[in-house]
């Protein structure tokens, strides 16, 4: 076993690797950018080395600097985590050339599976079923359009490099092919530096089922059963589970055998995942699954496999990289129970999952659910940390396990309802709605389910009057005054004969709310919302409510929903009114990729004006009104959240 390793990653996965290394007595070295100087993974590691500025191209993707850090600290091996350099074969070659061990597969294995088209040709030779499609080198529009016609619509355009749904477009009509191809190529170029694509038949009711495989350097390979990752939005996984619902013994035998065959075909060593697309239109059948791609690294969703097999996959990675054989044979790996993982992101599900930023002023996770369900939280942030625009906006992974699927799913819903985040918009209400959906609960899930139900799954009911009253009580400061250790605080607002009501102003969704808060005998408080709407909170409930106060805001938690209200600042309000409203502002930090309008141009409501690239995805900015453009941001501009993108003339 190694005595010291360097982790070439950040956030949640870096913390995850550190925990296992610490248990095994292996010392760890963290690397960090300027933006991550005070991050959790830096604090957890035995040593930490600065590697550059915040942008990943100047820090986490600089292989030379990472190898230099390993040498400086005496690390013997490098764990890549996932993302960044984890599937970069050139980096693997650099690590080996430097006399270090790469904790993962060989560069040759990564290259064999790195390009989807070449990987599929290799799998065909190995006898692994692949999706009908075109995986050739030709990239001319006429050729690709012709291949799409041969395959038959609908088709899927996919970037040949990378993953995560980037550079991917579904096309139902030949008339839309050229535009979809251009968008996919543009996005693939931005995300992976490679605009080339392949064309595949689109499966009408697809399920995404993947198999965890593991190989060593002694010719052995095993599987650790399957995971179902069909719950996706924009081709990105949302909730994963193991094992797959509805899986039959015959189907599992066929899929796992194909997965191990794929791993053996490239002499695979380490943790890997074989991803299959499954046609579930007639249930799970062994003749209806096809190889999609292989991820030659640890997956984000690996905890669900760990929960149902009792295997620490990171420990296996370390042992195999150190030259040991696989810790267990295939017969010794057993399934036990059911597990779910929900990815908690800083994003606004009500605005088509736009990524969000902000400081996590309040952050609380459940630690225990009950005797029949266990919970695990994998995170790389703590209260007070900021969600940066430079990196993936994941906050945590919430994992639950139960004796069966119903118990595990019930535990997931309960865990989401006990998770509290204030300071950034998060997707917890959406996750809870998805986990509580009747079709999802029945296991009737395909990759298009979220898109079909997106409006219902992302809808959030406005807070009721009782929630508003609780927010007003918290914002008033009256509870703090009444419970403060300072005796002068308890006299705040004192009146000899009649109690004085505190006036509180809140704003939610642009609407101002006015309330009055009055202290009552015995530590109770009355909150008035108009003449006929009064709520009384006793001392216990007033002080123990699920409420978070943070700068200029208050959040009241109701189940999985956090209702946030702003507390107006009169000075800021005056500045905002002076600024005017005939503008369109950036909804998130990003790069202006395309400008489709110009100064002086007359535009109509709904007309596309700009394409903003954020988190390597493209988002169209449309006009919210008819008008003449007085100013518009230029192509190539890097903007922050709130930057004025378009200003209309006052006509």
Catalytic residues: 297
Three-state secondary structure of 509-522: CCEEEEEEEEECHH
Q: Measure the CA–CA gap between 331 and 603, rounded to whole angstroms.
A: 66
Contacts of 254 (CB under 8 A, 6+ apart): 286, 289
605 and 623 Cβ atoms separated by less than 8 Å: yes
Contacts of 168 (CB under 8 A, 6+ apart): 156, 157, 158, 159, 184, 235
Other beta carbons less than 10 A from residue 466's beta carbon: 15
Closest CA to 27 of 90, 67, 76: 76
Q: Measure the CA–CA gap between 148 and 330, rounded to whole angstroms.
A: 41
Q: Measure the CA–CA gap between 553 and 575, rounded to whole angstroms.
A: 18
> How far is residue 407 CA from its own chain's centroid?
24
Closest CA to 199 of 148, 130, 258: 148
Query: Where do runs of H (alpha helix) occur along 27-82?
Result: 40-44, 63-73
How many Å is the maximal CA-CA distance in the chain?
91
Q: Measure the CA–CA gap between 582 and 646, rounded to whole angstroms.
A: 8
Q: Measure the CA–CA gap between 582 and 597, rounded to whole angstroms.
A: 16
Phi–psi pair at 276, nearest 5 degrees? -120, 145
Q: What is the DSSP string of 84-101?
A: TTTT-HHHHHHHHHTT-E
Closest CA to 598 of 644, 646, 651, 650: 646
Both structure tokens of 565: 């209200």
241 and 304 Cβ atoms separated by less than 8 Å: yes
SS3 142: helix
Q: Measure the CA–CA gap between 260 and 265, rounded to whole angstroms.
A: 9
Q: Measure the CA–CA gap between 439 and 437, rounded to whole angstroms.
A: 6
Q: Measure the CA–CA gap between 519 and 26, rounded to whole angstroms.
A: 57
Phi–psi pair at 220, nearest 5 degrees? -105, 145
DSSP 356: -
Both structure tokens of 89: 């074969």
SS3 154: coil
Q: Measure the CA–CA gap between 351 and 167, rounded to whole angstroms.
A: 21
For the chain, report the end-to-end CA distance as a whole number of angstroms. Answer: 73
């Amino acid at each position: 076993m190694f005595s010291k390793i360097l982790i070439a990653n950040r956030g949640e996965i870096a913390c995850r690797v550190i925990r296992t290394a610490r248990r095994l007595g292996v010392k760890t070295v963290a690397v960090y950018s300027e933006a991550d100087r005070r991050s959790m993974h830096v604090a957890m590691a035995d040593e930490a080395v600065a590697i550059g500025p915040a942008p990943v191209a100047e820090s986490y993707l600089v292989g030379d600097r990472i190898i230099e850090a390993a040498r400086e600290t005496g690390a013997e091996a490098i764990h890549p985590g996932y993302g960044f350099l984890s599937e970069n074969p050139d980096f693997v070659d650099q690590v080996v050339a430097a006399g270090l061990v790469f904790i993962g597969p060989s560069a040759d294995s990564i290259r064999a599976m790195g390009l989807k088209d070449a990987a599929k040709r290799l799998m065909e030779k190995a006898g692994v079923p692949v999706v009908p499609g075109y995986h050739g080198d030709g990239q001319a529009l006429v050729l690709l359009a012709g291949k799409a016609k041969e395959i038959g619509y609908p088709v899927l355009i996919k970037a040949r490099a990378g993953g995560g749904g980037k550079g991917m477009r579904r096309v139902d009509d030949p008339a839309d092919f050229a535009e979809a191809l251009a968008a996919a190529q543009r996005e693939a170029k931005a995300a992976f530096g490679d605009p080339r694509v392949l064309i595949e038949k689109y499966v009408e009711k697809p399920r995404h089922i993947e198999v965890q495989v593991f190989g060593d350097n002694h010719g052995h390979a095993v599987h650790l059963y399957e995971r179902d990752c069909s719950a996706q939005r924009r081709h990105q996984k949302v909730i994963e589970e193991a094992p797959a619902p509805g899986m039959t013994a015959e189907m599992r035998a066929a899929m796992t055998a194909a997965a191990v065959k794929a791993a053996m075909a490239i002499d695979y060593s380490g943790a890997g995942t074989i991803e299959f697309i499954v046609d579930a239109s007639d249930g799970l059948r062994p003749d209806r699954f096809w190889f999609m791609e292989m991820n030659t690294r640890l997956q984000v969703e690996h905890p669900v496999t760990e929960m149902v097999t009792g295997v620490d996959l990171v420990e296996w990675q370390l042992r195999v990289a150190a030259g040991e054989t696989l810790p267990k044979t295939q017969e010794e790996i057993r399934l036990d129970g059911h597990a779910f993982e929900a990815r908690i992101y800083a994003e606004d599900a009500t605005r088509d999952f736009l990524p969000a930023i902000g400081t996590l002023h309040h952050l609380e996770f459940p630690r225990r659910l009950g005797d029949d369900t266990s919970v695990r939280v994998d995170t790389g942030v703590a209260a007070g940390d900021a969600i940066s625009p430079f990196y993936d906006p994941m906050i945590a992974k919430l994992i639950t396990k139960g004796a069966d699927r119903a118990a595990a799913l019930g535990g997931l819903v309960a865990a989401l309802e006990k998770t509290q985040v204030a300071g950034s918009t998060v997707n917890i209400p959406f996750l809870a709605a998805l986990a509580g959906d009747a079709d999802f609960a029945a296991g009737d899930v395909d990759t298009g389910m979220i898109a079909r139900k997106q409006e219902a799954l992302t809808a959030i009911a406005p807070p009721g009057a009782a929630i508003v009253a609780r927010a007003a009580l918290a914002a008033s400061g009256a509870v703090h005054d009444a419970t403060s250790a300072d005796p002068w605080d308890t006299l705040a607002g004192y009146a000899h004969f009649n109690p004085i009501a505190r006036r509180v102003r809140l704003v939610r969704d642009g609407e101002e709310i006015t309330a009055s808060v009055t202290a009552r005998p015995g530590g109770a408080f009355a909150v008035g919302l108009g003449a006929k709407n009064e709520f009384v909170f006793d001392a216990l409930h007033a002080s123990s409510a699920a409420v978070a106060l943070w700068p200029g805001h208050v959040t009241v938690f109701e189940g999985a929903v956090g209702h946030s209200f702003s507390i107006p600042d009169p000075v800021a309000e005056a500045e905002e009114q002076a600024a005017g409203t005939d503008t369109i502002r950036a909804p998130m930090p990003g790069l202006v990729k395309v400008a489709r309008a110009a100064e002086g141009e007359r535009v109509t409501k709904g007309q596309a004006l700009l394409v903003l690239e954020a988190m390597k995805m493209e988002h169209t900015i449309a006009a919210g009104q008819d008008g003449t453009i007085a100013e518009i941001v230029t192509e190539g501009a890097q903007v922050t959240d709130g930057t004025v993108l378009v200003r209309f003339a006052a006509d």
